[in-house]
Amino acid sequence: MTIHYFQHVPFEDPGCIIDWATQKQYQLKATHWYDQPTVPDISGIDLLIIMGGPMSVHDQAKYPWLSIEKELIAATIRAGKPALGICLGAQLIADVLGAAVRPHTHKEIGWFPVSFSTIGLPTLKQVFPEAQNVFHWHGDTFAIPDKAVLFASTPICSNQAFIYQDRVVGLQFHLEVTSITLEKMISHGLDDLTPAPYIQYASEMLEQQALIPACNATMFRLLDQLAALAQPA
């Protein structure tokens, strides 16, 4: 089984996804878009994971590789392969599926509870609890793509997660976060931490690291489900 991830900046890495792939003895490959990578052949990918980043899905002029990445995401979906997008990754999936991605009314940065509703979604059965306190860092939001199903919300951002064709999942939040990735994101995102109703102080975020293991456990369950859908190349 080959798991391939797209990474957009050095400080938003796969976090606990690396631990999961190692435990399962899956092959883990990466495309680091910030480092002039070789474009991968999607035929060798069983599960695609698209990480987050501070850029917008509309920033092709500044980041020309975004256009190439979008083509690869679209081709992966057309090929019927499972995929997972996290934060920017979810926004990229929404964009290639024709849904709008735009700045949200509020940035959401810190640990906030998400409500889940996965009834009738077999891929997500027994993956998510009814609610969970998870880590957020986003200023944009996505509309739900046509034929996709919304399954997670917060009071300030109703569109937190969707699933398309029972095998393509977009998460606006970060279940993959570890203590190390949390510290990296904070150190590189200090300019975003201006006082606002849904922006926590760095100290608040660091004080809630006890929430990380439960988030990682949920991520492991989701990855298990997506991997079960993959057909080895």
pLDDT digits (tens, 9 = 90+) for 47-95: 999 999 999 999 999 999 999 999 999 999 999 999 999 999 999 999 9
Where does the pLDDT of residue 231 fall: very low under 50, low under 70, confident under 90, or very high at 90 and above? low
C-alpha span between 138 and 102 (Å, rounded): 11
pLDDT in tens, 164-211: 999 999 999 999 999 999 999 999 999 999 999 999 999 999 999 999
* pLDDT above 90 (res 110): yes
Instruction: Return the ∠ at Cα 118 (arms to 112 and 123), rounded to 5°.
Output: 115
- At residue 36, the pLDDT reads 83
Residue whose token pair is 């059965």: 125
- At residue 150, the pLDDT reads 98
Q: Strand 101-116 to strand 148-153: parallel, antiparallel, or no bridges (unpaired)?
A: antiparallel
C-alpha span between 60 and 138 (Å, rounded): 19
- At residue 37, the pLDDT reads 86
* pLDDT above 70 (res 120): yes
* pLDDT above 60 (res 232): no
Q: Strand 161-164 to strand 168-171: parallel, antiparallel, or no bridges (unpaired)?
A: antiparallel
Per-residue CA distances from 194 to 34, 109, 185, 190, 201 (Å): 27, 10, 15, 8, 8
Q: Classify residue 40 by its DSSP letter.
A: P
Q: Classify residue 145 by its DSSP letter.
A: P
Contact, 115 vs 151, CB < 8 A? no
Q: Strand 2-7 to strand 27-32: parallel, antiparallel, or no bridges (unpaired)?
A: parallel
Where does the pLDDT of residue 38 fall: very low under 50, low under 70, confident under 90, or very high at 90 and above? confident
Tokens found for residue 61: 């002029």
CATH architecture of the domain with range 2-229: 3-Layer(aba) Sandwich (3.40)
